[in-house]
Amino acid sequence: MGFPVGIGGGANESLHNRPLADQYSKDTSMIYQHRLLSQAGSESLDLPVGKVVCVGRNYAAHAAELNNPVPAEPILFMKPATAVVSLENGWSIPTDQGDCHIETEMTLLIGSQLSKANEQQALAAILGVGIGFDLTLRDVQTQLKQQGHPWERAKAFDGSCPLSSFVDATGFELSDAQLRLTRNGELQQDGNSADMITPVAKLLALISQQFTLMPGDVVLTGTPAGVGAIQAGDLLEAELNQQLKVECRVR
């Protein structure tokens, strides 16, 4: 995208004064804001959209399905804020770079700054829990892995991180959350956070040793088995613990 850079009068100044949404392209799927669901409905949160920190191979069955060894410590990578789109509003996938896989993950919305935290502090910083899709250009990733290169081209592209609205983390059972994905009516992923290799509290504490987490950042906690390619037109239904159900159609 690239916002205009400039100081002083003229066209640049008036552009800077325009609301952020206007500076994006006309594609409304680019406009995303964190939302919290409550019994009263859905409200947008006054939080920036920050970075997304992800963990690879956090479920042994998923590592096995891609013939990957289970790592000794979590494999961490990031997606930038520009990767985030609204899951519920529908989104599109790249069609010219091989298979695009869907990985359905429990997501954590960070509500307060977290740096070099212990597990207790880490849990206290979680504001919301939701569902995210870690979209992955699998053929591109395979090539990058073979060459020993970073994964960003396969994992961090625009639109690679559809995020649902969040439910309040207070009282949410993070260590026993059932996560399901149905694609065109067929169950494709069905896992439980109890099977995470690195559970949520430890994962967040570990991440915060390396990367300071800021309010508005999101953590994707890894995918259970059952990842696979998706196509434009697919109807996806995802569910977390029967507390959150979302549905969307891939464009």
Alpha-carbon distances, residue 181 vs 96, 104, 236, 238 (angstroms): 25, 7, 7, 4
CB of 183 to Zn ion, least distance (A): 16
Residue number of the CB atom closest to Zn ion = 134
Q: DSSP labels for 149-209?
A: --SHHHHSSTT-EEE--EEE-TT--TTS-EEEEEETTEEEEEEEGGGBSS-HHHHHHHHHH
CB of 220 to Zn ion, least distance (A): 6
Q: Which listed range, 3-11, 98-106, 118-126, 208-216, lies at the site for Zn ion (CB under 5 A)? A: 98-106
- Of residues 103 and 217, the one with the C-beta less far from Zn ion: 103
Considering only residues 19 through 58, tell me which ones interact with Zn ion, judged by CB under 5 A.
none
86, 189, 198, 223: which one binds Zn ion (CB under 5 A): 223
The 3-state DSSP class for residue 31 equals: coil
53, 58, 102, 103: which one binds Zn ion (CB under 5 A): 103
CB of 216 to Zn ion, least distance (A): 20
Q: Which listed range, 30-38, 68-76, 103-111, 125-133, lies at the site for Zn ion (CB under 5 A)? A: 103-111
Residue tagged 């609301």 (tokens): 19
CB of 54 to Zn ion, least distance (A): 5
Residue 142 backbone phi and psi in degrees, to 5: -60, -45
The 3-state DSSP class for residue 228 equals: strand
Which residues, listed in sequence order, are joined to residue 236 by a DSSP beta bridge?
Answer: 183, 248
What is the rounded distance in angstroms from the CA atom of residue 52 to the CA atom of residue 80?
6
- Of residues 106 and 244, the one with the C-beta less far from Zn ion: 106
CB of 194 to Zn ion, least distance (A): 18
171: alpha, beta or left? (left if phi > 0; alpha if psi -120 to 50): left
Considering only residues 109 through 168, tell me which ones interact with Zn ion, judged by CB under 5 A.
134
- Of residues 46 and 73, the one with the C-beta less far from Zn ion: 73
Interface with Zn ion (CB under 5 A), residue total: 3
CB of 218 to Zn ion, least distance (A): 13
The site for Zn ion (CB under 5 A) is made up of: 103, 134, 223
